[in-house]
Amino acid sequence: MAYFDAASAVPLHPVARQALLASLDEGWADPSRLYREGRRARMLLDAAREAAAEAVGCRADELVFTSSGTRAVHTGIEGALAGRRRVGRHLIVSSVEHSSVLHMADAHEAGGGTVTQVAVDRTGAAAVESYAGALRPDTALACLQSANHEVGTEQPVAAVAEVCRAAGVPLLVDAAQSLGWGRVEGDWSLLAASAHKWGGPSGVGLLVVRKGVRFAPQGAVDERESGRAAGFENIPAIVAAAASLRAVRAEAAQESVRLRELTARIRARVPEAVPDVEVVGDPERRLPGIITFSCLYVDGETLLHELDRAGFSVSSGSSCTSSTLTPSHVLKAMGVLSEGNVRVSLPPGTAGQDVERFLEVLSGAVAGVREKLGAPVADTVVREDVLVVDSLGKRCPIPVIELAKVIGDVPVGGTVRVLSDDEAARLDIPAWCEMRGQEYVGEEPAERGSAYVVRRLS
Amino acid sequence: MAYFDAASAVPLHPVARQALLASLDEGWADPSRLYREGRRARMLLDAAREAAAEAVGCRADELVFTSSGTRAVHTGIEGALAGRRRVGRHLIVSSVEHSSVLHMADAHEAGGGTVTQVAVDRTGAAAVESYAGALRPDTALACLQSANHEVGTEQPVAAVAEVCRAAGVPLLVDAAQSLGWGRVEGDWSLLAASAHKWGGPSGVGLLVVRKGVRFAPQGAVDERESGRAAGFENIPAIVAAAASLRAVRAEAAQESVRLRELTARIRARVPEAVPDVEVVGDPERRLPGIITFSCLYVDGETLLHELDRAGFSVSSGSSCTSSTLTPSHVLKAMGVLSEGNVRVSLPPGTAGQDVERFLEVLSGAVAGVREKLGAPVADTVVREDVLVVDSLGKRCPIPVIELAKVIGDVPVGGTVRVLSDDEAARLDIPAWCEMRGQEYVGEEPAERGSAYVVRRLS
């Protein structure tokens, strides 16, 4: 059994566990109290703040602990927007930010603010020029992740921070995926992160607001954590979070080389082992442990179940997973195939032989799902030069499978119209065309759903 | 050494510790994932929710876990106000609510809402009639604690819930202090609580919203916890919270009798052991473990230090504590003496001999502080019939000490004018008059601060 979903959460680091246990006895009291139990709790909290600040590369009084990374993002964005409300209400985010950032952007828009979503390229990277172009005189805040959580692509944070700084606009960096690997370089203004991504416990996030950044906490506040995180401090978890951050950093240089080699191996071998696969994300500028690919004619949920049965826990940005019927906004923004999507994110310590076993299992698992769904093998009889495929009511990946089955039935130069009301088709039919060297003509409104028109080129 | 500040936080219950340790290994993964680690986490979360709901007396789908009691209160009030925004923007709170409730009320007022603070009597209890009288056609929400956190007085929640229900107004109950002792009776609509008050870990609150209550979560939300608590669930802590709630409930009946006997002993013996003491809070309708008193001519912070040195950790609502220069809003609302205030809140399991030792130590500690501050003993020479005491720039309890020193210097019928710019004087000079049988004439504006006028009656 191998857990390959580190980008979602990793098991508690042994150092975190040890620190948590030790501070359950020492850190349960109210650190604002004057008696010994309170003073002891305060000392632990102060020491954890110093350690975390050192790891981030900021002053201790710039860093507060929140109850989660999501809360750090929400508080950070809200406070920075309010602090610069006089300047304006324009917010810039990339289109591949974590949902916590995009939810805040939605809330900001619902409250009358304006939002620019900066597009990314096919690798998932935002361009510095796009951020520069999005800056306006009324821009209150820009947000950019240090690295993407679904495809691992690193973002040009330092360069974006520079153009923001030149325009007098603070940059908030969501460093959730990268903080365990190292400091975020560049002259950013705010930073958010989450402990359970680096092997710390759940329930701890951190928010850094650089001195000099205008910041106005919103809603009800209290005297705790500089008025930026209301509620009783969770000191045992905070201590464990800080201790494990130091511990993973000590191992980071060596472990990143090792994991990078393992993900490079997956990147190279998956297309050999599995036909009709698109590996996504930047091959070079990326996190060490994440590798993501999409498999044509495969339904993500079924593939995940197959891999789970074979002992591998991975994640998927496909639609057709239990909780959602729309594909990941990240894959959508990148314009890559979303069907049969698999994100492999290796936790530190992953054994090479587990990766080998995964590669062995994968091709069989994909083939099995394709067989069940009746994916096309080869069958070409020319009939007409305009062919309509009715995939209404059918979910991803069926529309693409049906398209692939009939494309050989029209002559070269002929077209196939796929009728579909599945959200994923809008992304996956063009992606299929690109992979297959066919022409994607476009989408037309239909009585129900849309008609996706494809011209056979070969 | 004895920790007597359970109302602030209690050490982790052994059952919580056990449950936390067990679920660190089982509950770290994302419960929304489909693979085995995710399913295991989901099962733990579901079981904890069932257990907590059973303890509260609600349906499992009415209860969400938040990151703290404060967060539960904030989210609950905000969501309930927004859900009934069409009805109006009037909020009712008692004047002795926890600061998390009052901070939300402030934020609501700052945002254009209106707030009625219901007064309490000298025991700290709010009257049902006061709530009934505060209800208006535009009342969106009423809030009332189950019991007060500083003086232990129980509130008439069931009766207030009834008048609110009759008016169609939801009642939110802050049950932080009482949930470990038992269910909150009555037909309330929302309920908030905090695990570290009952021996659970920090970092877990709970929010109950009864079916049928209009509720609109505010700000950025995600799909977790029914959209009412954004951010990755802290499952090990949640499991520990639920397990310890069951455990303390199993011990509650017996332990409440024992603690009630111990606090009754303190209530009876403190006035015998220490001269010039006012015991505050309702002597009958109160939590088992809390007993609060104020000592004339004593500065709270110094007394706390003395008691800490003698091995007792207690809390104080006095001004002159490290973080604040204003007396507790609770004591203020009750109109009782705030100087030299001590809250003793016994955790379950407190030994009788520790209470005995506390009573032995207390009188010496109070006498020591009084001696240091030069509290009055007796010295009466009649000089004039209007005497001015300049206590400007002096902090509590000095103004009262100086008043007490000179009251014998004016003839019966004569007055003393105490000039003071200390916030606590406004509360403590009238309270002193009541304790001493002197007449408090009133407060007059002065060049700096105020003049507090006292007439000698005896």
- How confident is residue A301, by pLDDT bands cut at 50, 70 and 90? confident
Q: Report the residue from B70, B74, B301 with minimal CB separation from A232.
A: B70
Measured between beta carbons, the chain A residues lying within 8 angstroms of B67 are 67-68, 71, 203, 231, 234
Residue in chain A lying closest to B223 (CA): A323
Res A379: pLDDT:
40
Out of 3.40.50.2000, 3.90.1150.10, 3.90.730.10, 3.40.50.300, which CATH number does the structure's domain A253-373 have? 3.90.1150.10
Cα distance between residue A416 and residue A430, in whole Å:
13
Closest of A291, A274, A271 to residue A368, by C-alpha? A274
Measured between beta carbons, the chain A residues lying within 8 angstroms of B36 are 1, 308, 313
Measured between beta carbons, the chain A residues lying within 8 angstroms of B35 are 3, 5, 304, 307-308, 312-314
Nearest chain B CA: its distance from A8 CA (Å): 7
Nearest chain A CA: its distance from B46 CA (Å): 17
B317-to-A302, B293, B372, B424 alpha-carbon distances in Å: 60, 10, 21, 11
Closest of A351, A331, A282 to residue A127, by C-alpha? A282
Is the pLDDT confidence value at A318 over 60?
yes
Asked whether the CA dihedral B375, B377, B381, B387 is positive or negative, the reply is: positive
Res A319: pLDDT:
53
Nearest chain B CA: its distance from A48 CA (Å): 16
Do A253-373 and A386-455 show the same overall fold? no
Tell me the domain boundaries of chain A: 10-248, 253-373, 386-455
Asked if the Cβ–Cβ distance from B308 to A10 is below 8 Å, we say no
Structure confidence by residue, pLDDT tens digits, B262-299: 999 999 999 999 999 999 999 999 999 999 999 999 98
Asked if the Cβ–Cβ distance from A20 to B24 is below 8 Å, we say yes
Q: What is the mean pLDDT of residues A282-295?
A: 96
Cα atoms in the 13 Å half-sphere on the side-chain side of A124: 32
Residue B73, both tokens: 């209160």
Cα distance between residue B309 and residue A362, in whole Å:
66
Asked if the Cβ–Cβ distance from A103 to B220 is below 8 Å, we say yes
Residue A138, both tokens: 């009324």
Q: Which letter does DSSP use for residue A446 in this model?
A: -
Rank A24-33, A121-130, A326-335 by mean pLDDT and report only the highest: A121-130
Nearest chain A CA: its distance from B10 CA (Å): 7
Is the pLDDT confidence value at A376 over 80?
no
Asked if the Cβ–Cβ distance from B36 to A304 is below 8 Å, we say no
Coil, strand or helix: which one is A168? coil
Cα distance between residue A16 and residue A51, in whole Å:
13
Closest of A272, A115, A255, A129 to residue A181, by C-alpha? A255
Q: Report the residue from A233, A234, A313 with minimal CB separation from B37.
A: A313
Q: What is the CA B79 to chain-centroid distance, rounded?
A: 23
Q: Report the residue from A34, A36, A74 with minimal CB separation from B230.
A: A74
Q: Which letter does DSSP use for residue A224 in this model?
A: G
Is the CATH code 3.40.50.300 the one for domain B10-248?
no
Residue A22, both tokens: 């030790």
Asked which of A48-57, A243-252, B301-310 is least confident by mean pLDDT, the reply is: B301-310
Res A327: pLDDT:
81
Q: Is B320 a catalytic residue?
A: yes
Asked if the Cβ–Cβ distance from A313 to B9 is below 8 Å, we say no
Q: Report the residue from A12, A74, A235 with minimal CB separation from B219.
A: A74
Asked if the Cβ–Cβ distance from A232 to B202 is below 8 Å, we say yes
Catalytic position from the list B58, B320, B396, B433: B320
Structure confidence by residue, pLDDT tens digits, B349-389: 999 999 999 999 999 999 999 998 887 753 434 446 788 88
The label of the residue with tokens 């019966």 reads B412
Res B382: pLDDT:
44
Q: What is the ipTM of this complex?
A: 0.88
Asked if the Cβ–Cβ distance from B237 to A237 is below 8 Å, we say yes
Domain B386-455, second-level architecture: 2-Layer Sandwich (3.30)
Say if residues A389 and A418 touch (Cβ distance below 8 Å).
Answer: yes
Asked if the Cβ–Cβ distance from B67 to A220 is below 8 Å, we say no
Say if residues A288 and A181 touch (Cβ distance below 8 Å).
Answer: yes
Structure confidence by residue, pLDDT tens digits, B305-341: 999 999 999 998 875 445 555 788 999 999 998 889 9
Say if residues A37 and B10 touch (Cβ distance below 8 Å).
Answer: no
Cα distance between residue B85 and residue B111, in whole Å:
13
Q: Which residues contact B129 (CB under 8 A, 6 or more apart)?
A: none
Nearest chain B CA: its distance from A71 CA (Å): 7
A423-to-A328, B40, B253 alpha-carbon distances in Å: 11, 31, 57
B420-to-A415, B24, B396, B397, B449 alpha-carbon distances in Å: 90, 55, 10, 11, 5
Coil, strand or helix: which one is A278? strand
Cα distance between residue B210 and residue B214, in whole Å:
9
B136: buried, middle or exposed (CB in 10 Å: 19+, 13-18, 0-12)? middle
Q: Which stretches of chain B score pLDDT less than 50?
A: 320-321, 378-383
Catalytic position from the list A295, A320, A396, A433: A320
Asked which of A74-78, A432-436, B384-388 is least confident by mean pLDDT, the reply is: B384-388
Asked if the Cβ–Cβ distance from B314 to A24 is below 8 Å, we say no
